[in-house]
Structure 1
């Protein structure tokens, strides 16, 4: 088998993988919160025919002679830069800067900030929120949104308390989170992440009162590119990954604030993707041509004895 054919096969595989990444980017050009990925190549293994030797008084030095075996995947990196916010209204919010909302499929978990990476939280840039029938703040997929309850919102820049699923209280004081949540109207979120609403009740002492449900938490990571994509606009973190130290605070101050009523658009640059697609296609074609030429050479060798 010719080395050129081995190199071309590896080149075809590497270029196909890059086309897969480009195709996924283009497919998600209108996906809220999507972060585009970029694919890079690296050289494959080498076979050394002549080693590099140092020169001496009796002979000059010789450089190494090596045969390469094509290319392979170098890395697939994620561009975590923020994209253009799109106004959609409603109980939606976009992170104006770095950070992620924290969600979880269960509402029973109470987690300290220090144990965030020990819990299988889902992190997202998409703040599509609503209040479910049990009074919990949930995202578009029904996961519970985590943050801090009203008895802790008097700390303006930092929380040492636990992360809990945000829920409508059962009392106007905001400190009672029983099974029967208050009926609220005009539920909204402000730039500091506070969820509030107006009580609708037959009790005149409660009706028309404004209550605070809580404040959503914004999670930040030392290296957000170390997070793993989980699909459905979620990212995952683990103690063993490369995302670094994690923290969670309320929006505002040194933490990114929120743009209420907005959702973050995809950061895919279509012009770049189409340009990359053309060059990748040409690279794929060039590698396939090498296979064609290699096949013709092998055919010539076979026909030599005829």
Structure 2
């Protein structure tokens, strides 16, 4: 009878723990990066009434008779299933699609989290909402060495990029090979190009292709002229040889091996115009600019960055120029269920989780990153409410064990009277 009391008490304790776990899951239904917990029960040691007996002397064997002594919590496991995605559009929000954790530094200790709501502090360090630095690799001149030791990611917020003048432009299109109808007129194709000077000021230059129709209207030579916005012709016109339908060896002055023709601005400055993608076939003339360099001055702000699938943080300066500023590291574990929860949606490694394997997102079985989005809680609210009812009924049933046992004890006491 006393055994039933202890069984009932153990049942109350176990189901109270189930209510605690379920309640915590429900409380964190909207917590970004939260991973729900699942409780498991097991029976306790059973008292042996009599042991098993083997068949002998014409008698059959007997099975052991045992009385259980209750229930206990065997495990509280963490469910690391992917949570739902919430798109935010915020630069500092990141999501891991697949396995892995963000690595944060708390003092000298490394912690791990799936909550990807980050920001840049006053020192330019990428930190969590509680101020802990995110670990990864800081870029140097747009290059990241992810083979090195991870550390705090520092972004040069407020850094400026100086202006640069235009020195190269690439053209693409077709110059018609068709002969103009009589009376013969020169075929002319004009392409406007936006260019920058040394101060970053913009203007529109013009590249003109003019067919040399004299003495032959069907000539395959074109005169290329570059003119500034003020009407000044840059350098000397170039004769472009298109006899093969592509820029050829007869171009004068000669092109370089990459298909660039050069217009001298005087001194060390010059324009290189790439014509390797120009053609001369039948049809309409149609040409355009597909690339130029040069820029105005630009500044990086604390929200001026995007994140790639591999975790590269790409800074977007106010002039539109992009540069890799760093890369966010991702960690995986042999046994994620061995991690210890420490609050703030963070985990600590333990002797049973294995060592953290830190690397680039999207490599070595690690998930890819998604910028401008957060992973929400993976709590299944319908399941948790069901668990809550089950735990409540289990608690009530075990309390009835104690009540019934108490009534039997009272009956025994009353028999003495």
TM normalised by structure 1 equals 0.83
DSSP-derived class of the 2:393 partner: helix
Q: Which residue of 1 aligns with 2:399?
A: 288
- Kept after mapping to 2: 8 A contact 1:103/1:123: yes
Q: Which residue of 2 aligns with 1:248?
A: 358
1:194: how far off? 1.5
CA distance in 2, matches of 1:152, 1:287: 67
CA distance in 2, matches of 1:50, 1:32: 54
1:68: how far off? 0.9
Q: Superposed, which structure 2 residues align to 1:121-140 within 5 Å?
A: 121-140=110-129
Q: Which residue of 1 aligns with 2:336?
A: 224
Q: Does 1:266 align with 2:266?
A: no
CA distance in 2, matches of 1:231, 1:85: 21
CA distance in 2, matches of 1:261, 1:159: 23
Aligned residue pair count: 276
- Kept after mapping to 1: 8 A contact 2:142/2:324: no
- Kept after mapping to 2: 8 A contact 1:146/1:163: yes
1:209: how far off? 5.0
Q: Does 1:197 align with 2:184?
A: no
- Kept after mapping to 1: 8 A contact 2:156/2:300: no
CA distance in 1, matches of 2:141, 2:47: 64
Cα separation, partners in 2 of 1:64 and 1:197, compared to 1, 3 Å: same
1:137: how far off? 0.9
DSSP-derived class of the 1:122 partner: strand
- Kept after mapping to 2: 8 A contact 1:172/1:211: no
Higher-Rg member (1/2): 2
1:65: how far off? 1.1
- Kept after mapping to 2: 8 A contact 1:120/1:237: no
CA distance in 2, matches of 1:159, 1:152: 14
Larger relative strand fraction:
2
Q: Superposed, which structure 2 residues align to 1:62-141 within 5 Å?
A: 62-90=62-90, 91-106=92-107, 120-141=109-130
Q: Which residue of 2 aligns with 1:40?
A: 40
Deviation string, structure 1 residues 172-204 (Cα, Å, up to 9, x no partner): 79xxxxxxxx9622233222211232457xxxx
DSSP-derived class of the 1:144 partner: coil
Deviation string, structure 1 residues 274-298 (Cα, Å, up to 9, x no partner): 1111111111111111111111111
CA distance in 1, matches of 2:357, 2:61: 57
DSSP-derived class of the 1:222 partner: coil
CA distance in 2, matches of 1:153, 1:223: 35
Correspondent of 1:257 among 368, 378, 394: 368
DSSP-derived class of the 2:116 partner: strand
CA distance in 1, matches of 2:339, 2:7: 33
Note the aligned Cα RMSD (angstroms): 2.4
Cα separation, partners in 2 of 1:62 and 1:142, compared to 1, 3 Å: same
1:211: how far off? 3.4
- Kept after mapping to 2: 8 A contact 1:218/1:250: yes
- Kept after mapping to 1: 8 A contact 2:160/2:299: no
DSSP-derived class of the 2:391 partner: helix
DSSP-derived class of the 2:325 partner: strand
1:64: how far off? 1.0
DSSP-derived class of the 1:301 partner: helix
Superposition misfits of 4+ residues, deviation over 4 angstroms: 151-155, 169-173
Q: Which residue of 2 aligns with 1:177?
A: none
CA distance in 2, matches of 1:69, 1:81: 35
Larger relative helix fraction:
1
- Kept after mapping to 2: 8 A contact 1:37/1:77: yes
Q: Superposed, which structure 2 residues align to 1:137-156 within 5 Å?
A: 137-151=126-140
- Kept after mapping to 2: 8 A contact 1:122/1:234: yes
Cα separation, partners in 2 of 1:253 and 1:58, compared to 1, 3 Å: closer
Structure 1 portions without partners, runs of 5+: 107-118, 174-181, 201-206
